[in-house]
Amino acid sequence: MTGSGRVARLAATAVAGVLLLLGTLIGQDDDFPFGPFRMYATADKRGGEVVSTAIEVRTASSEFHAAPLTPSTTGLRRAELEGQLSRIVADPSLLRLIALAHARREPGAEAWTGVRVVQTRYQLRDGEPVGNRQVVLAQWMSE
């Protein structure tokens, strides 16, 4: 390897090292791969509360029950629903769009006449669940 090749590699290594150090100290998720990806860089407390968000649906022939929230059934992933949670809580009629998306994606399935967002909040003690409660955050029902 030539001398200039070594200098170029050392310079690139030094720049990458500085970016990694700065990203670690002051970086955010948007700086990945030079900043920490917080989803994997943090851990839940061994005591406290862990929240799981889901949807429940109602049809003409059933009461509310858990339903899959997947791209194939609704066009949404759970993370996308959670990202819009404040909007949905402020305007529950937005849940109608999930029912419409389900009708388009699964035309042979029974229509959803109601959709609600439910959070299960698990209480932890020493990293183990010791209880849970469910909270309905938003609900839409057809007229």
pLDDT in tens, 94-108: 999 999 999 999 999
Quote the percentage of the chain above a pLDDT of 90.
62
Q: How many CB atoms lie within 10 A of CB 79?
A: 10
Residues 17 and 55 in one domain: no
| More confident site: 47 or 9 | 9
Residues 91 and 37 in one domain: no
Residues 58 and 127 in one domain: yes
Give the residue-averaged pLDDT of 127-131: 87
Residues 33 and 54 in one domain: no
Residues 78 and 34 in one domain: no
Residues 105 and 137 in one domain: yes
Q: Which domain holds residue 20?
A: 3-41
Residues 65 and 127 in one domain: yes
Give the residue-averaged pLDDT of 62-90: 92
Give the residue-averaged pLDDT of 14-30: 83
Q: What is the largest CA-CA distance in the chain?
A: 77
Residues 52 and 37 in one domain: no
Give the residue-averaged pLDDT of 42-71: 88
Q: How far is CA 46 from CA 86, 126, 136, in A?
A: 27, 5, 25
Give the residue-averaged pLDDT of 31-60: 80
Give the residue-averaged pLDDT of 103-122: 95
Number of domains in the chain: 2
Residues 128 and 95 in one domain: yes
Q: In this structure, are residues 34 and 103 in contact, taking their beta carbons and an 8 Å threshold?
A: no
pLDDT category, 126, cuts 50, 70, 90? confident
**Would you say residue 39 has pLDDT above 80?**
no
The whole-angstrom separation of Cα 118 and Cα 131 is 16
Residues 37 and 98 in one domain: no
Residues 61 and 34 in one domain: no
Residues 27 and 87 in one domain: no
Cα atoms in the 13 Å half-sphere on the side-chain side of 31: 15
Nearby residues of 47 by Cβ (< 8 Å), 6 or more positions away? 124, 125, 126, 127
pLDDT at 45: 72
Q: 31-35, 81-85, 125-129: which range is least confident on average?
A: 31-35
Structure tokens at 112: 């959803």
Structure tokens at 128: 């183990």
